[in-house]
């Protein structure tokens, strides 16, 4: 199973505009022209630091670093710059640097909840799931209506095989934000695992109706069909998942099991072997899901 958050193939980064103005010291007319390149560079740094995911992470990091090093930013704006740079570091899979930046943002702006949540995402992607849960706990304490934080904590619980806790957090995330599609996809997967199959199927159907290119949701619905004994439907969904994510081990393994149960021994063995090459523990994972 992949992390759905942002995430979030990842948690959606919260990149907010920096309220960094020019120096409060009035410039003399004779120096105004000379200040133009500096002002332009400053504005460029702001634009880079506030860049979306379409802007390369290293460009965003450079923009935020320039702002942090300028000495011109007030604490609140500096916290935003650290948060945005942390998001860029996380996008570049530099999780320790991301966590350090989120820590700094939290120190600078007490009660600023987004870097608390984002730090949890960095821990989640790093594989430090207990630390991720602690960060999401704090984000929820600061803002009990923060749907993304509940959904992110659910993902951490899934990684810890705490399926009932994950289900409760997904429920709350969707209650707070019924349009949180990736949380509904995560709840579908969780319900598939715990055996709440029809409710899980309803969740997956709703996601696929609105987002037809999400491999994880097809993978989740396929698991439900597999557990229901609907092997042809499972294979169709696993095919869809693999068209979108050809190396998704859970989809390969699940399709292999479905093929074996339909009597396609050659095709099933081929899929199972391919899945194990990607994830040696995939059979253990399916055993936890109640499928052998």
Map out the domains of the chain with their CATH numbers: 1-12+41-192 (1.25.40.10), 213-292 (1.25.40.10)
pLDDT of residue 11: 31
Residue 235's closest CA among 199, 187, 267? 267
User: Is the Cα torsion angle 160, 164, 170, 172 positive or negative in sign?
Assistant: negative
CB 190 within 8 A of CB 254: no
pLDDT of residue 9: 28
CB 141 within 8 A of CB 133: no
Residue ranges, the chain, pLDDT below 50: 5-6, 8-30, 32-34
CB 137 within 8 A of CB 173: no
Distance CA 102, CA 84 (A): 9
What is the pTM (predicted TM-score) of this model? 0.85
Distance CA 42, CA 66 (A): 8
pLDDT of residue 7: 52
pLDDT of residue 44: 78
Distance CA 171, CA 200 (A): 12
Residue with tokens 């409710």: 199
pLDDT of residue 159: 96
Residue 152's closest CA among 52, 27, 3, 40? 3
Task: Quote the tokens at residue 175.
Answer: 């209650």
Q: Compute the chain's Rg from CA coordinates.
A: 23
Neighbours of 261 (CB within 10 A): 14
């Amino acid at each position: 199973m992949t992390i759905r958050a942002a995430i979030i193939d990842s948690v959606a980064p919260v990149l907010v505009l920096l309220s960094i103005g020019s120096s409060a010291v009035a410039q003399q007319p004779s120096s105004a022209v000379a200040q133009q390149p500096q002002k332009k560079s400053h504005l460029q740094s702001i634009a880079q630091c506030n860049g979306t995911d379409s802007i390369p992470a290293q460009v965003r990091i450079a923009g935020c670093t320039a702002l942090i090093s300028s000495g011109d930013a007030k604490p609140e704006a500096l916290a935003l710059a650290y948060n945005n740079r942390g998001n860029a570091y996380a996008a570049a899979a530099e999780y320790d640097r991301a966590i350090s930046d989120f820590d700094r943002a939290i120190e600078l702006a007490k009660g600023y909840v987004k870097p608390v949540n984002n730090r949890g995402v960095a821990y989640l992607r790093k594989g430090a799931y207990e630390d991720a849960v602690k960060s999401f706990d704090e984000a929820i304490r600061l803002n009990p209506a923060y749907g993304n934080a509940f959904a992110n904590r659910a993902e951490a619980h899934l990684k810890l095989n705490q399926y009932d806790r994950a289900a409760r957090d997904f429920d709350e995330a969707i209650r707070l934000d019924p349009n949180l599609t990736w949380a509904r996809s995560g709840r579908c997967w969780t319900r598939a695992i715990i055996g709440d199959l029809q409710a899980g199927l309803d969740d997956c159907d709703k996601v696929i109706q609105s987002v037809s290119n999400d491999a994880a949701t097809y993978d989740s619905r396929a698991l439900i069909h597999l557990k229901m004994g609907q092997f042809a439907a499972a294979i169709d969904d696993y095919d869809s998942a693999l068209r979108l994510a050809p190396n998704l081990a859970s989809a390969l393994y699940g399709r292999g099991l479905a093929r074996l149960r339909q009597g396609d021994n050659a095709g099933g063995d081929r899929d199972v072997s391919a899945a194990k090459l990607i994830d040696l523990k995939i059979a253990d994972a399916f055993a936890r899901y109640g499928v052998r």
